[in-house]
């Protein structure tokens, strides 16, 4: 697609919201908007949010899952970018579910619900799925301070996102495999992901470039 003059919706969590960047202008969404000449980049990132619905939902923005927020986005946008899954692994309480699930209450079901809904809402337009970045030292299920352990390793959430996207024929940018960002590498962590998860200004710039170039192929 031609990005110059286009409007793109970005649905995501804290990374999309801009966590780790020194200012909003250094967030990957803002950098991409400027460098690729978008007419508008609509940032629908909310820190801590998950794709799947939680067993108990409060009025907090933290509990506004992606499936809830899908209908709040600009329906006239030229493309949609969905970047999530790390919080479903990190602190989500929704079960993994099974491939036949179609409700937002499991991760399998939420992925289907979200992608099916986006296809209907933006029929004929690019809907791009992005897999989670690597996290420092916590990609396998474990309890933390009395909190429940994740139900599966991070790579399983990544695999489910890819599987469901393939079912709907949606393009996937697999940052889990091709981001070039691995916080287990000390130099990479210091420069690109200082807290082991959220990108620095340089990390956000890398994301902007990779996502923008991928969008141009669609």
User: What DSSP letter does each residue of 46-86 carry, written as one string?
Assistant: -TT--SSPPSS--SSGGG--HHHHGGGS-TT-SEEEEE--H
Helix (H, G, I), strand (E, B) or coil at 99: coil
Q: pLDDT value at position 140?
A: 78
| 79-83 β-sheet, strand order | 40-45, 7-12, 79-83, 127-130, 172-173
Asked whether 159 and 167 are in contact (CB, 8 A), the reply is no
pTM, 2 dp? 0.94
Measured N-to-C along each axis, helices 154-168 and 107-121 cross at an angle, to the nearest 10 degrees, of: 30
Residue environment code for 99-120, b if the CB has 16+ CB neighbours within 10 A, otherwise e: eebeebbbbbbbbbbbbebbbe
Q: Residue 137's pLDDT is what? A: 80
Q: Which domains does the chain have, with CATH numbers?
A: 7-216 (3.40.50.1110)
Start-to-end Cα distance in the chain: 5
Helix axes 28-35, 201-216, angle to 10 degrees: 50
Count CB neighbours of 197 within 10 A.
Answer: 20
CA distance 162 to 125: 19
For the chain (length 218 residues), average pLDDT per consecutive 10?
A: 98 98 98 98 98 92 95 98 96 94 98 98 98 89 50 92 98 98 96 97 98 98
Report pLDDT for 141: 66
pLDDT for position 146: 42
């Amino acid at each position: 697609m031609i990005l110059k003059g286009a409007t793109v919706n970005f649905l995501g969590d804290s990374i999309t919201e801009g966590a780790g960047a020194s200012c909003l202008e250094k967030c990957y969404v803002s950098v991409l908007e400027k460098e690729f000449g978008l007419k508008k980049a609509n940032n629908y990132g909310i820190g801590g949010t998950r794709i799947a619905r939680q067993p108990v939902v409060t009025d907090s923005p933290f509990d506004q899952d992606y499936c809830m927020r899908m209908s709040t986005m600009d329906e006239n946008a030229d493309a949609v970018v969905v970047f999530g899954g790390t919080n479903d692994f990190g602190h989500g309480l929704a079960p993994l579910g099974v491939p036949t699930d179609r409700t937002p209450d499991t991760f399998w079901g939420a992925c289907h619900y979200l992608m099916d809904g986006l296809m209907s809402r933006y029929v004929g337009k690019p809907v791009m799925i992005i897999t989670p970045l690597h996290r420092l030292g916590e990609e396998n299920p474990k309890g933390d301070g009395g909190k429940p352990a994740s139900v599966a390793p991070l790579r399983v959430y990544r695999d489910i996102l890819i599987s469901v996207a393939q079912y709907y024929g949606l393009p996937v940018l697999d940052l889990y495999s091709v981001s070039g960002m691995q916080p287990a590498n000390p130099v990479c962590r210091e420069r690109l992901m200082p807290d082991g998860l959220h990108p620095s200004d340089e990390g956000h710039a890398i994301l902007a470039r990779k996502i923008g170039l991928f969008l141009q192929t669609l």
